[in-house]
Amino acid sequence: MRLFIYGTLKRGCFNHFYMHGQQFIDTARTAPLYRLHNLGGYPGMVLAEKGLSIEGEVWEIDEACRARLDVLEGVDEGEYVLEPVPLLPPFDDEVIQGYRYLRSVEDRPEVGTEWTERKL
């Protein structure tokens, strides 16, 4: 499956080792539907009425990697949900999954359109 990542899993970031053995496809941007917040060392992408186009990467991952990422992202605990993320061309005709943050981002600072480790 193809996965859009936008935070600590990206190349050069703290949790990138989770992507070992998976295939990097390309950089990508979401449709302007989201906002990115600093949750204390990692980002959360949330739907927003006045959304931005979030920068990230598209990867081809296997089921074992997806299972590890679901644990990391707290899917069973209701922290993130894995769902289709609309991307801009050239990925606009593909169904690409991504992790969207489900909890409140009140009092969490926005970080613009791109997460970098410098924003910790």
Q: Active-site positions?
A: 73
Give 71's DSSP letter: H
Do residues 53 and 88 lie in contact, with contact meaning Cβ atoms separated by under 8 Å? yes
Buried-state track 46-56, b at ≥16 Cβ within 10 A, e below 16: beeeebbebbb
Q: Give how far Cα 37 sits from Cα of 26, 55, 62, 105, 110, Å.
A: 23, 13, 28, 7, 4
In contact, 99 and 79? CB cutoff 8 Å: no
